Amino acid sequence: MSADRELVLTRLINAPREKVYRAWTDPEILKKWFAPLPYTTPVAELDVRPGGANLIVMRSPDGKDMPNRGVYLEVVPNERLVFTDAYVRAWEPSEKPFMTVILTFEDEGGKTRYTARVRHWTVADREAHEKMGFHGGWSLCTDQLEALVAKI
């Protein structure tokens, strides 16, 4: 994979990887942290299995919904999740594939080395994602994730 199409966020989270993984796979938990505040996540439908679809809707403060559909490619409980927006459900191609997300959850003595690798179809897609605020947005969401998993 060419690094010019990839964005990466890595964080050491002070929680066991089972909790961090659960925050990505339990829809009720995901709704509480997924969107960078003041955005919200009113809908999270997750069929967490290879080939299973997901629908996550982020809502802006002014009420605009941004639906994100995808399909899980790989699911290794408490270790790895891979999903893509190249498909919307049941291997139905999306109109405009944008990214594939590879999440890893590595145990580091009861803490979790969390890595989000986002691979884009083109350099222009990666650049667009950076301009949308990938670094700030994903970092803020990871802060929200970490605060939430400390409580569950």
DSSP the chain: --GGGEEEEEEEESS-HHHHHHHHH-HHHHHHHSSPTT-EEEEEEE--STT-EEEEEEE-TTS-EEEEEEEEEEEETTTEEEEESSEEETTEEPSS--EEEEEEEEEETTEEEEEEEEEESSHHHHHHHHHHTHHHHHHHHHHHHHHHHTT-
* Residue 1 pLDDT class (50, 70, 90 cuts): low
Q: pTM higher than 0.85 for the full model?
A: yes
How far is Cα of residue 130 from the mean position of the Cα atoms in its chain?
Answer: 15
pLDDT at 118 over 70: yes
Quote the domain boundaries for residue 144. Answer: 3-149
pLDDT digits (tens, 9 = 90+) for 35-72: 999 999 999 999 999 999 999 999 999 999 999 999 99
77: domain CATH number is 3.30.530.20
Domains in the chain, number: 1
